[in-house]
Amino acid sequence: MTSAIERLDATAEVPEEAYEVEIIDMDFHVNPMESELQRYVENEVVLDRLSTEFGMTPIPDKWDAAYAIKEGNEGLFTQGRAEYPDDVRKACEPLAIDEPVVNAGINGLPQQHHPVLKNAVLQAGNDYMLDQFADDGFATALSLPKWDVDYALDELDRWGDESNVVGAYSWYDPREPWGATMFDPIFEKLVDLDLPLLLHGSLAFWPQHSYVGDNMLTWTEILGFDWPYHSMVNTVNMIMTGVFDDFPELKVVFQEGGHWWLPFARYRMDEFYEMHPEDVKITPRKLAAGEPYLERSPSEYLRDNVFVCTQPMALPRNASEAREMLRLSMAADTFCYSSDWPHQTLDPPTWFFTNRAFIDDQETRDAILHGNAREILRL
Amino acid sequence: MSANDDATAANGFRKVAEVDEIPTGRGIGVDVGGIEIAVFNADGEFYAIANRCAHQQAPLCKAGETKINADHTWTKTRGGVNVEEKSVSCPWHLWSWDLETATHAASGKRIGHFDCRVEDGDVLVRI
């Protein structure tokens, strides 16, 4: 007796069980063509400049690790290029993603120096996403200019209460962590609007532009470890300067900054703070409030106010090791699934259906795939 | 595929496709008794390896699929078959698999590799 030979399903790329669980993707990049974005630039003077050969101010991109990748800089488009809603639907179907949180992903913007051009491109990107995606029912994250707090507030006034805008998207970096009090008006408005702050890694801070220096040379060093350290110092800075005491309802999501550093930060923050808590009273917010200490242990803010995206999951294959890492990371309270489509670091949700750490713990699986996202996004 | 196509051939080889069903530089995925196999055409030479990449279980048979809005990207396909090197790069993360040995050089990992031959216009695979 011979067994059957069948052609495989031409559509599905992930285990069929993935289609039985709601999957919210916290970081799905839309990449409109430059010519299309220009249609949304409102300022004619700026548009004139952007339409010439000069365009945005050219700044050397130190993405030199890409030379050894088969697709070079096209690693940014390994899966393709989603420009319109049907493109996103087509991309999500084989990966069983039900609800992609789309963003315009103009991650090179912080790298530019010209404040007027930066704001104009950011505005165009937001209007493009509103017009093409939010109005079509997509959960959409619109961008905030970290470099211009007043303009960020103007943007929030403009679209903060629009339907289907589920979060505000900005960037983290090592130079000016988000704990600075200049960002308090943004935090206040985000809380009022019930929007989380989604912070993505920025191309402005590859090694030659960062405090790490010039000797980070490989993909593993640059992509694997530069952004995680930025995420970690931003997290610790926000917690220790009392951001979450002043804004306890604020939710912050770090995208592409890794997630397995949480146990390290969790225990190290508490250890250092409990040993030497006295300098907290002279940080700006605590000094203004006349409070000597944080209201809670640092790790409690990490659990309640900070979220991290899982792409790439990089889960240990041994289930008991994976289970323990998830527990120590407080993953059921802190992890949010993200695909990072269409980049080469794409992370389809296979881990959740192939590793016993999740097969045996569907509560944690569901929290990561949709529960935490539903808690913090304005869906 | 009809029941007649599923007949067991001599030496355990079984038909999985006709030659013209697999264009050069592409592959197909077939389930043979619960085993997923990807069969590739590298410029007229056919290879059969396990369909799932050892990295994250991506379906290798999709290597070479045209990207969304491919005209607005540099390379047009998600991974693909390198007919000169006899290798296939994964559609998700571009892990490169040697089609003759089913190995990934950087990690040393191996996946299933199956005998494959062409006979009378049919592509045959032996598990």
Note the pLDDT of residue A211.
72
**Is B4 in CB contact (< 8 Å) with chain A?**
no
Determine the average pLDDT of the residues in A31-58: 88
* Distance from C-alpha of A280 to C-alpha of A287, rounded to nearest angstrom: 8
| CA distance from start to end of chain A | 53
- pLDDT tens-digit map of B6-45: 445 568 899 999 999 999 999 999 999 899 999 999 999 9
Chain A with chain B: Cβ pairs closer than 8 A: 100
Determine the average pLDDT of the residues in B116-123: 96
**Is B55 in CB contact (< 8 Å) with chain A?**
no
At a CB cut-off of 8 Å and minimum separation 6, what does A223 contact?
A65, A345
* Distance from C-alpha of A195 to C-alpha of A244, rounded to nearest angstrom: 15
- Rg of chain B over CA atoms, in angstroms? 14
CB contact under 8 Å between A81 and B73, yes or no, is yes
Instruction: Pick B58's closest partner by Cβ from A13, A69, A82.
Output: A13
Cα angle A358, A359, A362 (rounded to 5 degrees) comes to 65
- pLDDT tens-digit map of A204-213: 666 566 677 7
Chain B closest-CA separation from residue A284 CA (Å): 45
Interface of B with A in 97-126 (CB under 8 A): none
**Is B62 in CB contact (< 8 Å) with chain A?**
yes
For residue B21, what are the domain limits?
4-126
CB contact under 8 Å between B8 and A2, yes or no, is yes
Nearest to A168 by CA among A205, A132, A194, A150: A194
Round the average pLDDT of chain A to a whole number and report it.
Answer: 92
Instruction: Pick B28's closest partner by Cβ from A7, A13, A344.
Output: A7
Cis peptide bond prior to A342, omega within 30° of 0: yes
Lowest mean pLDDT among A58-62, A119-123, A141-145, A347-351: A58-62
* Distance from C-alpha of B76 to C-alpha of B68, rounded to nearest angstrom: 9
Strand partners, A172: A201
Contacts of B89 in chain A (CB under 8 A): 70
Share of chain B above pLDDT 70, in %: 92
* Distance from C-alpha of A135 to C-alpha of A164, rounded to nearest angstrom: 8
Query: What are the residue boundaries of the structural domains of chain A, listed by start?
Result: 22-376
Q: Is residue B4 predicted with pLDDT exceeding 50?
A: no
Residue A39: count other Cβ atoms within 10 Å of its Cβ.
12
* Distance from C-alpha of B126 to C-alpha of B115, rounded to nearest angstrom: 5
Note the pLDDT of residue B49.
98
CB contact under 8 Å between A78 and B29, yes or no, is no
Q: Is residue B99 predicted with pLDDT exceeding 80?
A: yes
* Distance from C-alpha of A338 to C-alpha of A309, rounded to nearest angstrom: 6
CB contact under 8 Å between B59 and A344, yes or no, is no
User: Which CATH number fits the domain that encloses residue B33?
Assistant: 2.102.10.10
Instruction: Check if the beta carbon of residue B58 is closer than 8 Å to that of residue A8.
Output: no
* Distance from C-alpha of A345 to C-alpha of A364, rounded to nearest angstrom: 23
Instruction: Check if the beta carbon of residue A57 is closer than 8 Å to that of residue A114.
Output: yes
How high is the ipTM of this complex?
0.90
Q: How many CA atoms are closer than 13 Å to the CA of A6, on its beta-carbon side?
A: 9
- pLDDT tens-digit map of A93-151: 999 999 999 999 888 888 888 899 999 999 999 999 999 999 999 999 999 999 999 99
Q: Report in angstroms the alpha-carbon separations of A36 from A126, A128, A316, B115.
A: 13, 8, 42, 50
State the fold for domain A22-376: TIM Barrel (3.20.20)
Burial of A278 (0-12, 13-18, 19+ CB in 10 A): exposed
- pLDDT tens-digit map of A289-301: 999 999 999 999 9
Angle between helices A149-159 and A184-193 (to 10 degrees): 10
Domain count, chain B: 1
Contacts of B15 in chain A (CB under 8 A): 5
Buried b (16+ CB within 10 A) or exposed e, A85-94: bebbeebbeb
At a CB cut-off of 8 Å and minimum separation 6, what does A141 contact?
A101, A102, A103, A165, A166, A167, A168, A169, A198
The identity of residue B44, as a single letter, is: G
Q: Which of A7, A33, A63, A69 to mutate to test the interface with B (most CBs of B within 10 A)?
A: A7
Buried b (16+ CB within 10 A) or exposed e, A300-330: ebbbbbbbbbbbbbebeeebeebbebbeebb
